[in-house]
Structure 1
Amino acid sequence: KCMWKNICIILMFVVITVGFAQDETTFCEMLGSRELPLMSKEGDVVIGGAFSLHSQISKLLLSWTESPEPLMCSRINLREFRFAQTMVFAIEEINNSSSLLPNVSLGYKIFDSCASTLPTTRSGMGLMNGEGRAFERNCSGQSSVHAVVGTSESSTTIVMLQISGIFHIPVISHFATCACLSNRKEYPAFFRTIPSDYYQSRALAKLVRHFGWTWVGAVRSDNDYGNNGMATFIEAASQEGICVEYSESISRTGSRENVERVVRVIRRGTAAVLVAFLAYDEMDVLLEEALSQNLTGLQWVGSESWITSAHLAKKRYSGILSGSLGFAIRKAKITGLQDFLLRVNPSQEPESNLLKEFWETTFGCSFQSGTPGTKLCSGSESLRVVDNAFTDVSELRISNNVYKAVYAVAHALHSMLKCKDGDGPFENNACADRQKFQPWQILQHIQKIRFRTKEGDEVYFNENGDPAAKYEIINWQPRENGTVSFVKVGVYDASFPAGAQLNFQNTSITWTQRSPQKVPVSVCSEKCRPGTRKVLQKGKPVCCYDCIRCAEGEISNSTDAVSCVRCPHESWSNARRDACVKKEAEFLSFEEIMGILLTSAALLGTSLTAAVALIFYRHRKTALVRANNSELSFLLLFSLTLCFLCSLTFIGRPSDWSCMLRHTAFGITFVLCISCVLGKTMVVLMAFKATLPGRNVMKWFGPVQQRLSVLGFTLVQVIICILWLSISPPFLSKNFKEFKDKIILECSLGSAVGFWAVLGYIGLLALLCFTFAFLARKLPDNFNEAKFITFSMLIFCAVWVAFIPAYVSSPGKFSVAVEIFAILASSFGLLICIFIPKCYVMLLKPEKNTKKNMMGNWAPK
């Protein structure tokens, strides 16, 4: 809080100073100590620079009673010093160019942000005021720089923008990636030559998902870069179906206890993949602690901040980070930069303490004599024999961003100076005053630039000040000599369609030491195979689940199915529950045992009936056949044959036609059969009555009347069947209720009234026949067959009375079997009771088959 209060006070002084400066007669005096650039050069146009030239800052004791102590930054950052020298190189190259900004010299003022917000504030104030190295007490009314390149962190860049934004000075960062900086309303003067983390965070999520890692750990820098980047990654990861087991933050200025705690959390975690959205300094701190706690075996996935750091690779951390994957800015070559860097020497600017500090750090010497344990620097040492972060130009990625940022300012200035009135970007298409232009006027031209560097890189900014989002996918692959190679294994281009942004080259990837040749597995739960569904584990993320087998009748045919799908009505799940198969159709078939037995019984009955008919035919002239009405006997045998055969229509796969046929054939043939039996019974009964004195009944029961009676009784049944088939006929139906995994093919009755009318009519005739036979049971034995008809009708009625409850209660094909059994049983009853005794006499007792024997015991006494 104290730090930000100091910033607000300083800003108030700036506003007051600018206000006073508007009146040229008003005396303006600089308050407080001056912040001087560490590197500077005069020029017609001055470009400011802010780099984290030091990585350590002294802690200040802030008080409201006395002035704060001066900020002390230490431990020079050789990588950032290379960035600063790259800026100087680009400016010198432009000054020597005859095509870009001819007759205009560029100068620079480079300040140290010290990777911290408070030094950045002081550096920003130093860039804004007009003070150089002179010690005049006056102050100017305009900024001393026309554009700023920097800084290297998102948090410090935000602080810089809060200061420079007052004057609309364009700031072009080479390394600030926070997506928050794309907010044009809040940061209208900000540009960058490095893509926004909006794209990198989503690219990291796609990379993790590409390898099937759905359970990852995460660690981030505790600043705007890390917090915003990780928040975007977690959101994108959630959309990709990835769960984050833990998300921890560290700061290079934080306590060691917190770093130790974070490493312990990582060690206890079950995720095999760690996404590290860390700035370079925080990564260094984390790896130091990871080494002390022997944290190995993790698959690291990194951000562009550290993934190509040769400094980290050369340290002891290479074993921990072996196989790391991550996104990096595209590598480039800058012609002449290496020679320029190797020519850096303290003699170029003897008053620069920064150059002296760089030299002393690089060569381990001192320019001050008498320093114990340290040799004296001569200044003639050669950088060509040095291999450190400053001289290493093998991975020019961020340095190239600095190079492009300087050229972006130069091209904007060139465009502004070439502007012709009438084609300008300002009101009335005016151009800026070439002699006295303002930084905000350069801002308009920066937004519209589009050019290519000498190395072929295209530079332009979109409406948010961001460049095109293109990354290289880098893999840490160990060499035989123990060093590490940063191998490009793929690219990511956000301008491509969603499914084609991530592209891998035909290059083998080295993985973590635990599994160098095989892609590591990092999941909370194994994939659910087809036939199962996911059930979330209570209190855990969505990536942690159990695999439950689908219920009967449900399937899942994909991996990690969230739910099972019920099979269609006529299908059922297979044994593995991964496919629906058509339900087995159940019906009484000829192939099964029951069908074979019933078919055999029907054919047996048919054969017996045919045999009886043959016997009767051969003995048609005998007394027994003639006495028992041979015409009705043959018609009865024919109807019994039809009864046996109609039972076969109930066997086999039913259809609409077979359903109509089986019920109507059954009804008509049985009525024909019962009509014949009824006719025989009535003839026997009436024959006896006709022989009594004064009776002449037989004239009504002659052959013609018998035929007509049979025809009439049968015709009634035919009419009933026609009405049934016309109004609501039987039809094929599929019964899904009896069995879950089977379809019962059965014949629906259509009209139940029709069915019971057919059955009832048969029952009525059978009851009438039984009554007549019962009345004729006491006729003389030699002439009487009524008692056999009585037995047959008893069997017939008993079978069909028992049939009704058995038919209703039997499921599926068993109900059909019951109906066939009733048909066969009643038919066999009629055949055996009526015809077998006669056949016995004709075949085995032919002496009784005479008229004399038939009439012998019957004569009126």
Structure 2
Amino acid sequence: MVAFLTLVLVLLPQRVCKLPLRKWSVCEPLPIDHQYYQPGDFVIGSIIAQNYLFLNLIAFEKCPSPELIDDLVVMTQLYQHIMALVFAVGELNENLQILPNITLGFNIYNSLLSAVWIHHASLELLSTRGGFIPNYKCDIQNYPEAIIGGPNSELHRHMATILSIYKTPQFIYGSAPVMDHQMEAAFFHHLFPNGAHQYRGILHLLLHFRWIWIGVIYVDDDLGEKFIQDVLPMFSQSGICFEFVERFPSESFSNNIAEQVDDGLGLCNIVMGSTANVVVIHGEIQTTIILRVMLEFPAFEDVPIKRKSKVWIMTAQMELMSLPFQRGWDIHFIHGALSFAIHSKQVTGFSTFLRNRKPALDKGDGFIRAFWEQAFGCVFPNSKVNGENCTGEEKLETLPGAVFEMSMTSHSYSIYNAVCSVAHALHAIQSSKFKHREMTNEKRWNLKNHQPWQLHDFLRSFSFNNSAGEKVSFDQDGNLVAGFDIINWVTFPNQSFRRVKVGRIEPRASEDILLSVDDDAIVWPSRFNQAQPLSLCNENCHPGYRRTKKEDKPFCCYDCLPCAEGKVSNEKDTDHCFQCPEDHYPNKEKDLCIPKYIVYMSYGEPLGMSLAIFVLIFSFATAVVLGIFIKHKDTPIVKANNRNLTYTLLISLLLCFLCALLFIGKPEKVSCLLQQTAFGIIFSVAVSCILAKTMIVVLAFMATKPGSKMKKWVRKSLACYVVFTCFLLQAILCTVWLASSPPFPSLDMNSLNAEMVLKCNEGSTLMFYCVLGFLGFLALVSFCVAFLARKLPDTFNEAKFITFSMLIFCSVWLSFVPAYLSTKGKYTVAAEIFSILASSAGLLVCIFPPKCYTIVVRPDLNRREQLRRTFK
């Protein structure tokens, strides 16, 4: 199949490979003698990079055999591209509906991946057949209507240099080159969707599987550099990090083979030693050949590098290519890989067309004999190479997929669509001219008289359906309007493989539905046991933790810290923990917000029930004491201590105990208004009664002294004035409180983690402490007065008991303030109830038991004579 071969003799340290050059001298070019030519009214020129040289194999331990030299220069997979062209032309020529009475023809030129031969083929297309005289053609029938070039981007750039001058339509079925001049690009029709759509698809695929820690390998050419400069920053902005970004070893022919081998080993070591399980490969159709050689370098060089399966993500330009010497190499490396491919469908009849190819039947095929020898490993008679003879009856369908595929590949499908596009464009021109002729009564118009550049407007303004039922059209930039298929590669032990469509990229869809993938249909590399691979710099931060960046590491590498108190994170790899809503609280793992329960001091819980029982007990005790005093109201001890004041004190104490019940139960608007005001006013009356009793005792003893002027103050009305004044002042404070900022029911959501406390909000904290402060002031005055009267005669004197009771009262309420401020939730209410009960009980227990004891147990002491004896 090869018509041109350039070899460079290389002298390597410690090993020299002498390659037989056959009949060719070093660096001597040979003419292109393998052309597939079919005449026709309209000619389609096809320049295909059929052969590929990989001389770096000279660096292997053993020199290639003479037979290996022939293997090195043939890529049998590209033969299908030629067959797609032949099949499309034959199908269109048989279709009388498109171009009746018109025959399509074609020329095939082998570019050899050489700029020299690409220019040579381009000029030959513009010359008379058989005479290389560019721009001078005698056989106008052979003038090309369109050129199909591919599959390498460099091929297109060299084609455009000459063909764009003549405005010849050029179809590209590989990746679009980076053009130096926009005028040259104007005549390109890319049988490839806009490359930006593919890169968006790769990004969406990575994000879909949460692969944020990846490696990148690219071919060192213009497209590769553009990919690195323009696309990878876009990946980074979307949260993708790169463990390595490396380029493949140079493919150029050089005498520095040892350096290229070292580069290949270094790259293999980087890839296999990386923690990234996903590697994006940006390359051309032949890049898989380089990849396979790179992965085999350690075995050839006896370097201990362990091969690890990776999920390769390959661009649509790439195919599983191999040279014949790679035929026995394992293709399991590609098992589970994901690649992009131009959306395609199988064309009816193409597989049958391939199965019917036979060297004996297709005499006009200048490539089939060379292809047959390389594909089946045999030789035809008169061959200069010894080997098993080819019978010509071998079956293409028996070849492994890595050698030749029977199903139409996406590149072959693009060639097929290119031929169909030219035919339909010519048909559109013919139809438009025919209509114009009918309207203007012009003479007969001949389609053969048009110029090739006239196809451009038709190619970019019409669409058609090919025989596979697919709509084919180009946008205004000359790009094919199509999507990408996502292919999952599945290999088998017999070196065969299957491409499974597992997803689709639809460029015209919105961002959220741009990518569609069937995750369950994907077969992953064997190393991952059919579990979706992870590709992360480190383990995920689980819910309940947040990420924090590691110093001197990419942003995808991070440490995991637990969320702060009161905050949660319910997703993996979150950068921030968030605060739960006020009516929710974090669970123990800090990965979920749980609704808070509403709680309050209720009668149903043990604490509320216990306090209610104490309230009833003390209330009953107070009622009993009051009953005793009422029953013995005429006894000296009751009269001596101001009977009415004692009744008032006992009744106020009874109400103090009962007002504690206002703090138990569900807070309501009325109960909240009564809680603090009732407590403040009733306690003021109780303490003012204590103060009045103490003042009367003091004044009574002072009035007994000769010449004392205190007798006028010792009146029953004095006690009423004291009690009423204290009551009035406290009532005024409570009225101002209720008028300005009254208490109200509220939910305290912040005091407790797991509960919302329904309680009475004081409204005005200042007024609350004013009411409490006034009580404290009365208690302090009462304590001071009682303390001064403690040494007065002991019989019927309450001063000592009042002193002790006020000491308890003040101690309770002084301790209440820090307890009230430090407790949370319903325990704040419990502290207030306890203070009410303790202070009221202190007054009751310290003052009245001695009197009750005297009245009930020792009535002999409850006599007037006993009172007089004391004063004497």
What TM-score, normalized to structure 2? 0.78
Question: Among residues 794, 806, 816, which one is paired with 1:796 in the alignment?
Answer: 806
**1:376-455 maps to which residues of 2 (within 5 A)?**
381-382=392-393, 384=395, 392-420=405-433, 434=447, 436-455=449-468
Matched, 1:302 2:314: yes
Distance (whole Å) between structure 2 residues aligned to residue 261 and residue 431 of structure 1? 69
Q: Summarize deviations over 1:121-153 as a string: whole Å, max 9, x none.
A: 2222222x3232136799359994221111221
| Per-residue deviation, 1:596 | 7.5
Preserved CA contact (<8 Å) 2:93 2:102 = yes
Choose 130-139 or 538-547, whichever is displaced more: 130-139
What amino acid does structure 2 have at the position aligned with 1:273?
V
What amino acid does structure 1 have at the position aligned with 2:541?
C
| Per-residue deviation, 1:456 | 2.5
Q: Which has the larger radius of gyration?
A: 1
CA 1:637/1:456 → structure 2, altered by over 3 Å: closer, same or farther?
closer
Distance (whole Å) between structure 2 residues aligned to residue 777 and residue 51 of structure 1? 126
**Matched residue of 1:157: which SS?**
helix
Question: Among residues 113, 129, 133, which one is paired with 1:132 in the alignment?
Answer: 129
Q: Tell me which residue corresponds to 1:172.
A: 171
Preserved CA contact (<8 Å) 1:148 1:170 = yes
Distance (whole Å) between structure 2 residues aligned to residue 698 and residue 211 of structure 1? 99
Distance (whole Å) between structure 2 residues aligned to residue 632 and residue 746 of structure 1? 33
Distance (whole Å) between structure 1 residues aligned to residue 80 and residue 318 of structure 2? 16
What amino acid does structure 1 have at the position aligned with 2:859?
P
Choose 313-322 or 147-156, whichever is displaced more: 313-322
CA 1:319/1:593 → structure 2, altered by over 3 Å: closer, same or farther?
same
Choose 140-149 or 304-313, whichever is displaced more: 304-313
Q: Summarize deviations over 1:261-299 as a string: whole Å, max 9, x none.
A: 222221111122333333342211321331343634223
Choose 440-449 or 224-233, whichever is displaced more: 224-233
**Matched residue of 1:293: which SS?**
helix
Q: Tell me which residue corresponds to 1:113.
A: 111
CA 1:74/1:334 → structure 2, altered by over 3 Å: closer, same or farther?
farther
Structure 1 residue runs of 5 or longer lacking an equivalent are 1-31, 60-71
Distance (whole Å) between structure 1 residues aligned to residue 95 and residue 763 of structure 2? 102
| Per-residue deviation, 1:809 | 7.8
CA 1:655/1:581 → structure 2, altered by over 3 Å: closer, same or farther?
farther
Distance (whole Å) between structure 2 residues aligned to residue 58 and residue 777 of structure 1? 122
Matched, 1:55 2:52: yes
Preserved CA contact (<8 Å) 2:379 2:385 = no
Q: Tell me which residue corresponds to 1:614.
A: 627
Distance (whole Å) between structure 2 residues aligned to residue 314 and residue 496 of structure 1? 41
Distance (whole Å) between structure 2 residues aligned to residue 336 and residue 822 of structure 1? 97
Matched, 1:44 2:45: no
Q: Tell me which residue corresponds to 1:68.
A: none
Matched, 1:559 2:564: no
Choose 93-102 or 796-805, whichever is displaced more: 796-805
Choose 357-366 or 587-596, whichever is displaced more: 587-596
Distance (whole Å) between structure 1 residues aligned to residue 412 and residue 790 of structure 2? 126
**1:311-350 maps to which residues of 2 (within 5 A)?**
315-329=328-342, 330-335=344-349, 338-339=352-353, 342=356, 345=359
Distance (whole Å) between structure 2 residues aligned to residue 430 and residue 656 of structure 1? 102
Distance (whole Å) between structure 1 residues aligned to residue 779 and residue 354 of structure 2? 123
| Per-residue deviation, 1:156 | 1.0
Choose 299-308 or 611-620, whichever is displaced more: 299-308
Q: Summarize deviations over 1:344-386 as a string: whole Å, max 9, x none.
A: 6589778x975664566467436757x4636899xx8446578
Preserved CA contact (<8 Å) 1:243 1:543 = yes
Q: Tell me which residue corresponds to 2:4.
A: none
Distance (whole Å) between structure 2 residues aligned to residue 466 and residue 592 of structure 1? 77
CA 1:680/1:470 → structure 2, altered by over 3 Å: closer, same or farther?
closer
Preserved CA contact (<8 Å) 2:743 2:762 = yes
Preserved CA contact (<8 Å) 1:204 1:326 = no
**Matched residue of 1:407: which SS?**
helix
Distance (whole Å) between structure 2 residues aligned to residue 568 and residue 610 of structure 1? 49
Of the two structures, which has the highest relative contact order with CA contacts closer than 8 Å and spacing of 6 or more? Answer: 2
**1:715-754 maps to which residues of 2 (within 5 A)?**
715-729=728-742, 748=762, 750=764, 752=766
**Matched residue of 2:286: which SS?**
helix
What amino acid does structure 2 have at the position aligned with 1:49?
S
Distance (whole Å) between structure 1 residues aligned to residue 490 and residue 821 of structure 2? 71
What amino acid does structure 2 have at the position aligned with 1:253?
S
Distance (whole Å) between structure 2 residues aligned to residue 447 and residue 398 of structure 1? 21
Q: Tell me which residue corresponds to 1:155.
A: 154
Choose 477-486 or 384-393, whichever is displaced more: 384-393
Question: Among residues 660, 681, 697, which one is paired with 1:668 in the alignment?
Answer: 681
Preserved CA contact (<8 Å) 1:606 1:644 = yes
What amino acid does structure 1 have at the position aligned with 2:82?
A
Preserved CA contact (<8 Å) 1:182 1:196 = no
Choose 580-589 or 660-669, whichever is displaced more: 580-589
What amino acid does structure 2 have at the position aligned with 1:562?
D
Preserved CA contact (<8 Å) 1:689 1:695 = yes
Preserved CA contact (<8 Å) 2:127 2:135 = no
Preserved CA contact (<8 Å) 1:654 1:747 = no
Q: Tell me which residue corresponds to 1:28.
A: none
What amino acid does structure 2 have at the position aligned with 1:44?
D
Q: Tell me which residue corresponds to 1:271.
A: 276
CA 1:272/1:727 → structure 2, altered by over 3 Å: closer, same or farther?
closer
Distance (whole Å) between structure 1 residues aligned to residue 785 and residue 150 of structure 2? 118
Q: Summarize deviations over 1:63-105 as a string: whole Å, max 9, x none.
A: xxxxxxxxx9982433334423432343344344433323333
Distance (whole Å) between structure 2 residues aligned to residue 123 and residue 43 of structure 1? 19
Distance (whole Å) between structure 1 residues aligned to residue 863 and residue 32 of structure 2? 150
CA 1:479/1:507 → structure 2, altered by over 3 Å: closer, same or farther?
farther
| Per-residue deviation, 1:387 | 5.1
Distance (whole Å) between structure 2 residues aligned to residue 170 and residue 138 of structure 1? 17
| Per-residue deviation, 1:762 | 6.6
Q: Summarize deviations over 1:545-584 as a string: whole Å, max 9, x none.
A: 2221111122112222121113345655332112345678
CA 1:710/1:498 → structure 2, altered by over 3 Å: closer, same or farther?
closer
Preserved CA contact (<8 Å) 1:420 1:431 = no
**Matched residue of 1:365: which SS?**
coil
Matched, 1:248 2:246: yes
**Matched residue of 1:811: which SS?**
helix
Preserved CA contact (<8 Å) 2:816 2:835 = no
**Percent sequence identity over aligned pairs:** 28
Preserved CA contact (<8 Å) 1:470 1:493 = yes
Matched, 1:146 2:145: yes
Q: Tell me which residue corresponds to 1:533.
A: 546
Q: Tell me which residue corresponds to 2:557.
A: 544
Preserved CA contact (<8 Å) 1:323 1:511 = yes
Matched, 1:807 2:812: no
Structure 2 residue runs of 5 or longer lacking an equivalent are 1-28, 57-69, 254-259, 300-306
Preserved CA contact (<8 Å) 1:730 1:751 = no
Q: Summarize deviations over 1:631-667 as a string: whole Å, max 9, x none.
A: 3322222122223334555667767755553443333
Distance (whole Å) between structure 2 residues aligned to residue 826 and residue 506 of structure 1? 73
Q: Summarize deviations over 1:8-34 as a string: whole Å, max 9, x none.
A: xxxxxxxxxxxxxxxxxxxxxxxx999
Distance (whole Å) between structure 2 residues aligned to residue 553 and residue 122 of structure 1? 76
Distance (whole Å) between structure 2 residues aligned to residue 508 and residue 182 of structure 1? 43
| Per-residue deviation, 1:747 | 5.3
What TM-score, normalized to structure 1? 0.79
What amino acid does structure 2 have at the position aligned with 1:449?
F
Matched, 1:838 2:851: yes
CA 1:661/1:812 → structure 2, altered by over 3 Å: closer, same or farther?
farther
Distance (whole Å) between structure 1 residues aligned to residue 652 and residue 629 of structure 2? 15
Distance (whole Å) between structure 2 residues aligned to residue 567 and residue 386 of structure 1? 64
Preserved CA contact (<8 Å) 2:178 2:223 = no
